[in-house]
Amino acid sequence: MIRYCHTLFLVFFCFSVSAQTITGFKPENTQDQLNLEATFESKLSASNLDTWMQQMAAQPHWVGTDYGRENAEWMVKQFKSWGYDAQIETYQILFPYPKIRELKLVAPTPYKAKLTAVPVDGDSFTAQGAALLPSYNAFSTDGDVEAELVFVNYGVPQDYEELEKLGIDVKGKIVIAKYYGSWRGIKPKLAAEKGAIGCIIYSDPEDDGYVRGDVYPKGAFKNKTGVQRGSVMDMPLYPGDVLTPGIGATKDAKRLDRKEAPTITKIPVLPISYEDAQPLLAALEGPVAPTSWKGGLPITYHIGPGPAKVHLKLEFDWKLTPAHNVIAKLKGSEYPDQWVMRGNHHDAWVHGASDPVSGMVALLEEARVVGALAKSGQRPKRTIVYCGWDAEEPGLIGSTEWVEDHKKELQQKVVAYINTDGNGRGFFNAGGSHSLQAMVQEVASSVTDPQTKVSIKERRIARQLVSGGKDQFELYALGSGSDYTPFIQHAGIASLNIGFGGENAGGEYHTIYDTYPHYKRFKDPEFAYGIALANAAGRIVLRLANADVLPFEFTQWHATVSDYLKEIMDETDKMRKDVEKHNSLVSKNSFELAADPREAFVKPVAKEAIPYLDFSPIQNSLATLKNSIESLSTGSLTDRSKEQLNALNKKLMQTEQVLTDDNGLPRRSWYKHQIYAPGFYTGYGVKTLPAVREAIEQKDWKEAQAEIHKLAVVFDKMNAHINTLIDHTK
Amino acid sequence: MIRYCHTLFLVFFCFSVSAQTITGFKPENTQDQLNLEATFESKLSASNLDTWMQQMAAQPHWVGTDYGRENAEWMVKQFKSWGYDAQIETYQILFPYPKIRELKLVAPTPYKAKLTAVPVDGDSFTAQGAALLPSYNAFSTDGDVEAELVFVNYGVPQDYEELEKLGIDVKGKIVIAKYYGSWRGIKPKLAAEKGAIGCIIYSDPEDDGYVRGDVYPKGAFKNKTGVQRGSVMDMPLYPGDVLTPGIGATKDAKRLDRKEAPTITKIPVLPISYEDAQPLLAALEGPVAPTSWKGGLPITYHIGPGPAKVHLKLEFDWKLTPAHNVIAKLKGSEYPDQWVMRGNHHDAWVHGASDPVSGMVALLEEARVVGALAKSGQRPKRTIVYCGWDAEEPGLIGSTEWVEDHKKELQQKVVAYINTDGNGRGFFNAGGSHSLQAMVQEVASSVTDPQTKVSIKERRIARQLVSGGKDQFELYALGSGSDYTPFIQHAGIASLNIGFGGENAGGEYHTIYDTYPHYKRFKDPEFAYGIALANAAGRIVLRLANADVLPFEFTQWHATVSDYLKEIMDETDKMRKDVEKHNSLVSKNSFELAADPREAFVKPVAKEAIPYLDFSPIQNSLATLKNSIESLSTGSLTDRSKEQLNALNKKLMQTEQVLTDDNGLPRRSWYKHQIYAPGFYTGYGVKTLPAVREAIEQKDWKEAQAEIHKLAVVFDKMNAHINTLIDHTK
C-alpha cells in the first residue's frame, strides 16, 4: 500500500488497505470514515442555503447594525438546535461611519460627484435608500483637501516609477487610481508616502464594468453608478481593531489613541463610480497615459497634473461598535481538547448575498448535518468549532480580536482552521498550509463537480491544463483578505481557505447590487456549488476530526518551500541582469536616443549593481530537512497504539507554529509566520518567505542576508521538530 | 582593409583605404564620392518641401482627377527644368468611383449611417465638401444585401477559429470587422470564403481613435467621424489593374471582362467611422466577445449574430481612367544602360499631405540637387530614373502597369529600385533585398538624425535596444503595400523601401484629415525628416550610380535567408507540439471540463498530427552556397580594370532575378520571387520563403515537401550564379 500511495503522491503515514486509502486513517477505520462522509454528503440540502440566504441577506448588515446582531443571534439559535454549544462573543471595535462625503471637480469646469448608486428594476433590495451603507473606504482618515488631480493608473509602485520617468510628482496633489492591480489599501498608503494629500479610487469599466460584460440589471457587471466599498486599513502592518494591535478588543482593553493608530490612512480616500470618475479624468491634460494604463472610458486618458482640480471632504463618526462573533462547539468524543476550526464571516458591506452569505449558509448547512450525525451517534473524535465572524469587511476585525484574545488556548488546541467566504459557480480553489496539500487533494478527488460529474480535482486540473498550467493539484499560498489571516499568520495555526468560482463573474462586489436576485441570476442559482463547498469543507473537517494520525504531509510541503527559494534566487538573478541591461543602455545613451524629444522624458541614471547573496544557509538547512522528511515518510504505523498515535498527534498539531518567529517580520511584528505573509506593498497578494523576499525586492541587501540566516534557523527548528516526530514513530 | 571590413561586418569587395571605406568604391574614388555626397546634402532645402507640399496637397488628387493630372504635369516641368528627360506615361486602368453608398441598421432599431467625416476648425481643407472623395473601399464589388450582423474582431483566420469554437457561422450574414490586425483586403476575402454576404470595416477608437490620443483637431488622432479609405483588391493574388494581370494596361491591351476579374471582392464592403459603428455593435446580442476582441467603445462588445440586422447597398461607376506616371531620366555618363531607379507615388485618397506627398516632395528635392550636381559637372556614372507613380492607392496600379509594360528592359537595365512613400518624424526604417543590407547600413551611418545629432543608424539601434531588440542594423523583408512590389516580386529587381517614422502617430491615414495643417502640427513640422529622407535616399542612389563594383553583399544575405529557414523549421516543430498538446487535452476531455456549461462551446476534436518534413535539400543547398559566398567575400579587386569590373557588374545586377521562378508562387503566378512575398492571408505582411512557409501554414504537407525541393533548386541556381561571379573576380 506504500505502493498505492507512491503512485499517487508521496504521503505521510499510509496504512495498508484493500480498496481505498485515506491519509491518516488505519485500514480498519477507513471504510467507516468513507461511509460517514457519504452519509454526510447525502444529507446536505440546497434548499436550506436558498432559504437562509434570503433571510440573512434581506437587509444590510455591516458591523454594528441591528440586522447584523439579529443574524448572529439567529445563527446561535440554529447551532444550538443542532446540538452545538453556541454563543456570541462580542468585542468593542473602532468602526468609522461616514458623516460627510463630498467630492467636487472645481476646475476647469465644476462637477459634483453623485456618490450614489441607483436602484434597478427587478431588484427591490437596491431601493432600500437610506438603509444602504453609503459608499466609502473604511479607515480613511478625516480630511478636507483641494488640489490638482493626477491619474496614477492602479497606484502601485511600478506606476510611480513610470511617473518618475515622465517627471511627474504627486506631492501636494490628489491622486485618482483605478481599483484592481493591488489590494485597495495599498493605493492611499503609497500615495501618502509619495506626498499626495488625497486619494480617489474608481472602478474603471475595463476592469469592472461594461467592457467585461452587460451591466446590472441587464447583466452581472458593474453599471456606471456602482461603487465598491472596502477597507483601506493598513492590514499588511496588522489587521483587526486599529486601537488594539496584538490583544483582544475587550471592553476594558488598553487602547491606542486614534490619532496614533498606525493602520488608519494618512490621507483621505474615497471610492467612486465610473460615472463620477469620467468628468474628472476627462478634465486632465498633460501627457497621454501609457497604453497599459488606459481604461475603458470613451476618453483620452491623460495623467495631469491638472488642470483638473478637485475638492475632497470626508468626515467619519469614529465610534466603538460591538462586533458579534458566533462560536459554536461540538465536543469531540475522544480528544475534546483537539479542535478542528471552521469559519466564515457573517457581516456584509450591504446585503452581501454573495460576500459573505453564500459561504456562510454553506457553513451552516455543513454544521447542521455534522450536528445531526453526532446526534445519531456519529460524534467526531475531536472537537469541531464553527465560527461566524463579524467585522471581517472593515479589516478581519472579528476573527482577529478573537484569535488575539484566545491565542494561547488556540495554539495548544487547534489542529487546523478551515476558512470559507463568498462562494460561486465553477472551479475548486484551495489555499493554505502545504502540509495539508496531500489531504486536500484526496478530498478533492472525493467530491463530485455538480455540472460535469467528474471530481472537483479533475475539473480543476482540466482548467489548469487548458490554460497552460500543471497537471497536478496544488494549494496556493495564503496572503490575506479573509479570516484565515490571524490563525495562520499570527497564531501559527495550520489553515486552509477554500471555495468555488470562475464561472460567476460580476461587478457586485461590495456594492448595493450584491443581492439575492443578483446571486440567483448570476452566481450559483441552484446552490449546487454551495452544496459542493459544504461537502468539501465538511469532508476536510471530518477527516481532521476523526483521523488516527493527523493528515499532515511534509514531502509536498518541502518541495513547495524549495520552489519558493528557487523563485527568489531566480528573481534576484533577473534583477541583476535587468540592472546590467539598464546600465548598459544608460552608458550607451540609448534611452535618450530612443525617446521622443518632444515628449516628457527624464534621463535614466545608472542603478546600483545587484550583489550576489549567500543563499547557502537556507539551501543547507533545506537539504538536511529533506533527508529527515524522507525518513519520516517511510514510517508505517499500523501497529501503533492509540496512545502512541495521540502523542504523535499532539506533536503534529504544533508543526505550523515551528514555522513562526515570535519577533515577527521586520517592521511588522504582528505577522509571525516565516513562510507566508501578505505583501507589504501588495496587501492581499502573498509573499512567500516574506522576510527574505521583501528585503531583496526593496534592495536592502544587509537585511536580506540577515534574514537568510534567520530563515535557515527556522528550517533548522523544523528539522529538529521532524526528528521529534520521527522519534515518536519509532 | 580586409581587417577593417571584417571588424565591422563581412562585406563583399572591400578596397584598401586610408580613412574611410565605402563598399563598392576603389580607394582612389572614395573621397570623391564622399565629397559628392557632402555637397549633395548641403544643397538640400527644407523650404522646398514645405512649398511643394502646400501645392501638391492643396486639393484632392486621386487617380483620374484633374488635380492629379496637374500635379503630374507640374512634376514633369520641374524635372525638365532640373535637366531630366521627363515625361508622363499614361495607362488606362479600371477605377471604381462610388455612386451609391447606403448602410442602415434596420433592426432592432433603425439607424442610418452618416458615412461622412465632419470639417474641423483650423483646417479649411476638410471643408471642401463635394470635392472630397467619399469614403469607400476601392474594388469592392457592387451589392445590395440585408442580413443579420456578426462581429468578427479583425476578421483574420484566427478570429474565425474562435467563432468556430463558439459555434458561430457567418454564412449568409454581414460581418463587421475592425480595421488593423491585417491588411484590409483580407477581411472581405476571408468573410466571403466563410460565406458572408457583406462586410463592414470600421476604425475602433482603441486602435485608431481617442484611446490612442486626443482626436483631431485637438490632437492628431481619428475623431469619431473619420473614415479610412483604401483598396480591398486581392493584391496577394496580383496587384495593379484588375483587368490586365501581367501586362501593361495600355490603351489597346487585351482586357478581362470585369465580371471575371479575380481581384475584385466577391462581396460588397464598406468602411465606416466609429460613430457609425457604435449603434450597430451596441445592437448585437449573443456571446460577449473574447477579451482580446474588445475595442474602445463604451459598450459591451457582443458577437451576434443579430438581432442587429443591416442593409448595405453599394454601386460603383466602373470606368477606365487614365493613370499618369511621371518618369524622369538623367542619363549616366559611363553606363547609361545601367539604371538606378527611385520612386514614390503621387496620387492620394484625398489631399494626402502625409501619404504620399511628404515622400514625394523629398524625392523631388533629392532629384533637384542630383540634377544640379550633374549640371555642375558631377553627372552620375549610371542613369538615374526618378518616378512619380499614379494610382498607387487603389492597388499599386501605376507602378505595376509600368513595370509589366517594360519588364524585359527593366530586367536588363535596372541595378536596383529604391522606393519611398509617406514620411514622418522619428526613426529610420529600411526594408528590402538583403544583398543591399551592408550598403544601406553604411549609408545609415553617414546620415545624421536631425533631432539627436547621432547617425540615423545609431538612433535606430538605440530604439531596438530599449525595446529589447538587437544591437545591429537590419533590413526588414518586403511584403507589399507600396510600389516596390512589382519591381522586386514580379520583375526580380533588387529593391529597397525606406522612410522615417515612429514619432508621428495620428489617425489621418486615408481620411479627409491628411492635410497640410495636420502634417505641420503632428508629423514633421520643419521637414527635417523629409530632408533626412532625401539625404539617405540620395546617398543610396549616388552610391549605386557611381560604385566601381555594385555594392551587393551576400554574407548577410545568406545569414538572413538561413534565419528564415530556421524560423520555418522552428514553427513546424511548434505546430507539432501544439497539436500534440491539443490532442492530449482532447483525449483527457480537458476542454469540455474547463468550459462553462452555460456558455456556447463546441467540443474540440483531435487534429491531424504534424508530420516531420525533410528540410535537408534546402539545408544542403544553403551549406554549399555559404562556402561559395565565403570564397567570393575574400576577393579583392583593387587592381581590376574598368572593363573587368563592368563585366562583373553586369552579372551582379542580375542576381535578384536568380531568386525568382518564372512559374511564380503556387496559385499566384504573378509573384515570381521565391524569398519574399506578401502573405496570401496577411496581405501586406511578408511571408519569407513563401511557397514553403505558406504550404506548412496551410498544412498542405505534400505541397510543402515539393516546394522544399523547388526552393533548394533556387538556392542551387544562386550557387551557380555566385560561382560565375567568382569566375569574374579571378
Burial classification of residue A701, based on how many CB atoms lie within 10 Å of its CB (0-12 exposed, 13-18 middle, 19 or more buried): middle
Domain coordinates in residue numbering, chain A? 1-42, 43-93+323-434+477-546, 94-320, 555-729
Whole-Å CA distances, A508 to A126, A128, A185, A277: 11, 16, 19, 18
CB-based contact B211 A300, cutoff 8 Å: yes
Write the ipTM. Answer: 0.93
% residues pLDDT > 90 (chain A): 94
What pLDDT band is residue A6 in, cutting at 50, 70 and 90?
very low
Which of residues 20 through 49 in chain A touch B, CB cutoff 8 A? Answer: none
Q: How many CB pairs under 8 A join A and B?
A: 98
CB-based contact A288 B597, cutoff 8 Å: no
Chain B residue numbers with beta carbons less than 8 Å from the beta carbon of A591 are 462, 466
Query: Can you give the pLDDT at residue A636?
Result: 63
Q: Please give, rounded to a whole number of angstroms, the shortest distance from the CA of A465 to a CA of chain B.
A: 7
Question: Does residue B637 surpass a pLDDT of 70?
Answer: no
B706-710 mean pLDDT: 98
Q: Which homologous superfamily is B28-93+321-544 in?
A: Zn peptidases (3.40.630.10)
Distance CA B449, CA B426 (A): 9
Whether the CB of B288 is below 8 Å from some CB of chain A: the reply is yes
CB-based contact A588 B462, cutoff 8 Å: yes
B237-262 mean pLDDT: 97
Three cell numbers, residue A251: 471592553
Spatial contact of A467 and A458, defined as CB atoms under 8 Å apart:
no
Residue A595, C-beta contacts closer than 8 angstroms, at least 6 positions apart = A601
Which of residues 458 through 517 in chain A touch B, CB cutoff 8 A? Answer: 458-459, 461-463, 465-467, 503
Whole-Å CA distances, B626 to A627, B433, B477, B629: 56, 18, 20, 5
CB-based contact A298 B296, cutoff 8 Å: yes
Q: Which of B278, B285, B294, B300 to mutate to test the interface with A (most CBs of A within 10 A)?
A: B300
- pLDDT tens per residue, range B345-363: 999 999 999 999 999 999 9
CB-based contact A211 B596, cutoff 8 Å: no
Of 3.30.70.3270, 1.10.10.10, 1.20.930.40, 3.40.50.300, the CATH number of B555-729 is 1.20.930.40
Query: Can you give the pLDDT at residue A639?
Result: 75
Residue A590 has its nearest CB partner, among B210, B466, B589, at B466
Range of weakest confidence among A175-184, A677-686, B57-66, B378-387: A677-686
Question: Does residue B624 surpass a pLDDT of 60?
Answer: yes
Work out the mean pLDDT of chain B and round it to a whole number.
Answer: 95
- pLDDT tens per residue, range B453-486: 999 999 999 999 999 999 999 999 999 999 999 9
Query: Can you give the pLDDT at residue A14?
Result: 46
- pLDDT tens per residue, range A302-334: 999 999 999 999 999 999 999 999 999 999 999
Residue A664, C-beta contacts closer than 8 angstroms, at least 6 positions apart = A670, A671, A672
B250-260 mean pLDDT: 96
What pLDDT band is residue B5 in, cutting at 50, 70 and 90?
very low
Q: Please give, rounded to a whole number of angstroms, the shortest distance from the CA of A590 to a CA of chain B.
A: 4
Whether the CB of B521 is below 8 Å from some CB of chain A: the reply is no
CB-based contact B594 A467, cutoff 8 Å: yes
Residue A594 has its nearest CB partner, among B300, B466, B585, at B466
The C-alpha cell 461566524 sits at A388
Three cell numbers, residue B87: 515625361
CB-based contact B205 A465, cutoff 8 Å: no
Fold of B98-320: Glucose Oxidase; domain 1 (3.50.30)
HEC readout, A602-617: CCCCCCCCCCCCCCHH
Chain B residue numbers with beta carbons less than 8 Å from the beta carbon of A596 are 426, 503
Question: Does residue A264 surpass a pLDDT of 50?
Answer: yes
Distance CA B660, CA B672 (A): 5
Please provide the DSSP assignment of A493-536 as one string.
--EEEEEEEES---S-TTSTT-SHHHHHHHT-TT-HHHHHHHHH
Residue B642, C-beta contacts closer than 8 angstroms, at least 6 positions apart = none
Determine the residue of chain B that is closest to A505 in CA distance: B596
- pLDDT tens per residue, range A552-586: 999 999 999 999 999 999 999 999 999 999 999 99
Query: Can you give the pLDDT at residue B711?
Result: 98
Query: Can you give the pLDDT at residue B19?
Result: 60
B60-89 mean pLDDT: 98
HEC readout, B440-472: HHHHHHHCECCCCCCEHHHHHHHHHHHCCCCCC
Query: Can you give the pLDDT at residue B639?
Result: 75
Which residue from A190, A165, A157 is spatially nearest to A175, judged by alpha carbons? A190
Distance CA A86, CA A386 (A): 9
Determine the residue of chain B that is closest to A297 in CA distance: B298
Domain A43-93+323-434+477-546, second-level architecture = 3-Layer(aba) Sandwich (3.40)
Chain B residue numbers with beta carbons less than 8 Å from the beta carbon of A462 are 588-594
Chain B residue numbers with beta carbons less than 8 Å from the beta carbon of A454 are 593
B730 sits in which H/E element: none
Query: Can you give the pLDDT at residue B641?
Result: 87
Whole-model pTM: value is 0.94
Domain B28-93+321-544 and domain B98-320, same fold? Reply is no
Three cell numbers, residue B535: 539625404
Whether the CB of A592 is below 8 Å from some CB of chain B: the reply is yes
B150-156 mean pLDDT: 98
Secondary structure (3-state) at A198: strand
CB-based contact A503 B219, cutoff 8 Å: no
Question: Does residue A15 surpass a pLDDT of 80?
Answer: no
Angle between helices A555-587 and A437-446 (to 10 degrees): 110
Residues belonging to chain A: 730
Three cell numbers, residue A397: 476585525
Question: Does residue A402 surpass a pLDDT of 80?
Answer: yes
- pLDDT tens per residue, range B483-506: 999 999 999 999 999 999 999 999
Which residue from B113, B111, B182, B174 is spatially nearest to B144, judged by alpha carbons? B174
What pLDDT band is residue B10 in, cutting at 50, 70 and 90?
very low
Question: Does residue A407 surpass a pLDDT of 70?
Answer: yes
Q: Kindly indicate whether the domain formed by A94-320 is annotated with CATH number 3.50.30.30.
A: yes
Three cell numbers, residue A275: 460615472
Distance CA A414, CA A661 (A): 18
Residue B454 has its nearest CB partner, among A297, A591, A593, at A593
Spatial contact of B130 and B160, defined as CB atoms under 8 Å apart:
no
Which residue from B111, B450, B165, B157 is spatially nearest to B279, judged by alpha carbons? B111
% residues pLDDT > 90 (chain B): 94
Residue B594 has its nearest CB partner, among A294, A462, A598, at A462
Distance CA B729, CA B648 (A): 7
Query: Can you give the pLDDT at residue A19?
Result: 59
Question: Does residue A8 surpass a pLDDT of 90?
Answer: no
Question: Does residue A4 surpass a pLDDT of 60?
Answer: no
